[in-house]
Structure 1
Amino acid sequence: MSNLPDWRDRMLRAVWWHGEQLPEEVRTWMAELYGERGEISESEFCDSWTARTFSMARSAFETVTRSAEQDTGKATTGDDYDYISYTRDPDQGPVGVVRIKSAEVSTPDAAEVLCAVAEGVQEFVMSHHRVTWPVCGEHGRGLHVDYVHETPVWTCTGGSTDGHVVRAIDPAVQA
């Protein structure tokens, strides 16, 4: 039986995580998973990783589409709209991928998932409704996804500085 760091290293290799810094949230989740279930197999770990990512994406999708619909008055969900998919293709890798238009994510990190979902919903609103969303009230420009202190935010490149944060992507979070 190995210890948590050894198990975590093996599991990260199993999900093809190579040399990138692991977000603290994912490290904590892995430690909790190890504490609850012990040394689960690589396939069980990949299943847990994928399930967590998909669950986060569904939650982020609800948050972002609600915000887009409130801001634009345009529908972003419903029977006519199919632009988010959850796939797991063993030929593409050991874990599943969430695709929202051309954005995709396969890491169970809430900030990364929220950013990918926001970019995908933004792309959908712009391509389907021909509406720029979201827009900076001060400069009238479309906003971009970014991070400030690990918080996913909408930023504007307008103004005399290098831009500014307009708001958090999740309206429940203060940026």
Structure 2
Amino acid sequence: MMSNFSDWQDRMLRAVWRHGERLPEEVLTWMAELYGERGEIPEAEFCDSWTARTFSMARSAFETVSKSVEQDIGKATTGDGFTYLTYVRDPEMGPVGEVHIKSAQVSTPDSADVLCAMAEGVQEFVMSHHRVTWPVCGEHNRGLHVDHVHETPVWTCTGGTPGGHVVRAIDPAVHL
């Protein structure tokens, strides 16, 4: 039975142009669960599931980052006239869609990658729309950058020690 899953998984990863790419365990676990629930679904259905998962995660991550902006600086990232997340499926770019917010984009349903992309996009929005640098390191008064520490999306500052330092997790509910 495992060889059937392995064959299906290989075919589906080729379908989304990720064959041979090292994917996070979270994505591989989701694929195993999907296979366990629905069996060998067709390629088109798998691509739709992959994209739907990515887009759902992006909406959730956008809400998380938006709440952080409002708590930190009292500025809204939602409201009439704002365009947030867009979804693009370009046949020349592959069989799965991409989620965009400003210039950030993501097409893999991995929560860390999705949260990082949404954080960068919201940060870009805040800078361009509100003309405010967000978030800022309280110690060095510098704008922060998105990074990963042990697969946890974090805000880092380039000030202080060589290589900078982690200021906090992007998701305020995560404590480092």
Q: Common fold, TM-score beyond 0.5?
A: yes
Deviations along 1:56-97, whole A, 9 cap, x unmatched?
A: 000000000110111111111111211321222333320111
The Cα of 1:122 is off from its aligned counterpart by 0.2
User: Contact 2:15 / 2:47 at 8 angstroms: preserved in 1?
Assistant: yes
User: Contact 2:158 / 2:165 at 8 angstroms: preserved in 1?
Assistant: yes
The Cα of 1:18 is off from its aligned counterpart by 3.8
* One-letter code aligned to 1:142: G
- Structure 1 runs (4+) deviating above 6 angstroms are none
* Aligned-residue RMSD, C-alpha: 1.2
What is the match of residue 94 of structure 2? 93
Comparing 89-98 with 162-171, greater Cα deviation is found at 89-98
What is the match of residue 51 of structure 2? 50
| Percent of pairs with identical residues | 81
Looking at structure 2, the residues matched to 130 and 97 of structure 1 have their Cα atoms a distance apart, in angstroms, of 27
1:27-106 equivalences under 5 Å are 27-106=28-107
User: Contact 2:10 / 2:19 at 8 angstroms: preserved in 1?
Assistant: no
Looking at structure 2, the residues matched to 63 and 9 of structure 1 have their Cα atoms a distance apart, in angstroms, of 33
Which runs of 5 or more structure 2 residues have no equivalent in the other structure?
A: none
What is the match of residue 26 of structure 1? 27
The Cα of 1:160 is off from its aligned counterpart by 2.9
Looking at structure 2, the residues matched to 150 and 160 of structure 1 have their Cα atoms a distance apart, in angstroms, of 22
TM-score by length of 2: 0.96
Looking at structure 2, the residues matched to 160 and 54 of structure 1 have their Cα atoms a distance apart, in angstroms, of 37
Looking at structure 2, the residues matched to 35 and 75 of structure 1 have their Cα atoms a distance apart, in angstroms, of 41
